[in-house]
Structure 1
């Protein structure tokens, strides 16, 4: 078992190194078009349904950019935005936005208690695991494993993604099966509460 765990950790480390080759300065030069929707540094999107892309983690950002470019994660608003960009271009963009600071939103005070309980402890009755297990207690994610920083993200966007995992319209990426399984066990009220809580988490 120890050898298996060590092998997994080593493999994750190699993957992380492979995804850590972006040039933030080059990415900054190409980021102007992205900021039209996602705001300066990717931190203040023009709509709550758009994600903050600042500080999410380079590996996660790169994987999502590739998925969007290859249409394995179709997003109508992103159509044509990544056309013609090389994998290095995408890596550079990921490196730039990963270095930007996530601006924390404001959670709904009436949903904090329920959202915190779900985020930190899950729901044993329905088999929902704690979000903190993968995304960390502060929502900072796990960069080597490719789990994104979600603390501070827009609540509307978070809810939209959990619903997309639940109905199967988002199923791309190496961790998609985990999120599909978790989301299938969440009620609408739980999605609302945990999304709100995460938006104010830092």
Structure 2
């Protein structure tokens, strides 16, 4: 699995392409229903456990919409929301939300040092790689690889996803396999700290 992680981190430029097939103007027309839960432009979810979907990256968003639609990524709150939407409509939604600005939260000051240490340096003792190596030092992600923009994301949502990777309930892609391996090495305290740190990262 370490070789898999290294291959993705260092070789992604050779193997991945940006999606870029959506029309954001068309996507905006279909985005109204999404905003009921995710907020205006996808940047203000009604609950901390819901993700901000603004600015995450078009490829990542499209891949997640497809996975949710075909139920390979099960999210009960999204049941039926994408039923009947064409592939082009999913591409358009991804393009629209990818262009929206993500707002930044305030990290817990008591968790910043620990969270920053994990995000930027990982944990050599337990084999945790630095989050920044895939998701960018400022949390801007890697669009061609489909690695999402994390900076500003809700801490509660990040922690929920890291635990879902860790317990194997989010396992629907090659990128998920990487995160499952990483999360398996994270303690609850590390998850709490790094999630808080990321929520204030910009």
When normalised by structure 2's length, the TM-score is 0.94
Shift in CA distance, 147/8, structure 1 to aligned 2, threshold 3 Å: closer
Equivalent residue for 1:156?
A: 156
Of 13, 18, 24, the residue aligned with 1:9 is 13
In 2, Cα distance between equivalents of 1:179 and 1:9: 19
2:100 maps to 1:100:
yes
Equivalent residue for 2:192?
A: 192
In 1, Cα distance between equivalents of 2:90 and 2:173: 16
In 2, Cα distance between equivalents of 1:147 and 1:131: 11
For this pair of structures, how many residues does the alignment match?
A: 195
Shift of 1:172: 1.3
Equivalent residue for 1:42?
A: 42
Shift of 1:174: 2.4
Shift of 1:8: 5.9
2:27 maps to 1:23:
no
Equivalent residue for 2:72?
A: 72
Judge conservation of contact 1:63–1:173 (CA < 8 Å) in 2.
no
What are the Cα deviations for residues 17-61 of structure 1, in whole angstroms up to 9, with x where unaligned? xx2110000000000000000000000000000000000000000
In 2, Cα distance between equivalents of 1:198 and 1:97: 20
When normalised by structure 1's length, the TM-score is 0.94
Q: Calculate the aligned-residue CA RMSD, in Å.
A: 1.6
Structure 2 unpaired stretches of 5+ = 1-6
Pairs within 5 Å for 1:53-64: 53-64=53-64
In 1, Cα distance between equivalents of 2:181 and 2:108: 26
Name the SS of the counterpart of 1:144 in structure 2. coil
In 1, Cα distance between equivalents of 2:120 and 2:136: 9
In 1, Cα distance between equivalents of 2:142 and 2:128: 19
2:172 maps to 1:172:
yes
Shift in CA distance, 83/152, structure 1 to aligned 2, threshold 3 Å: same
Judge conservation of contact 2:139–2:198 (CA < 8 Å) in 1.
yes
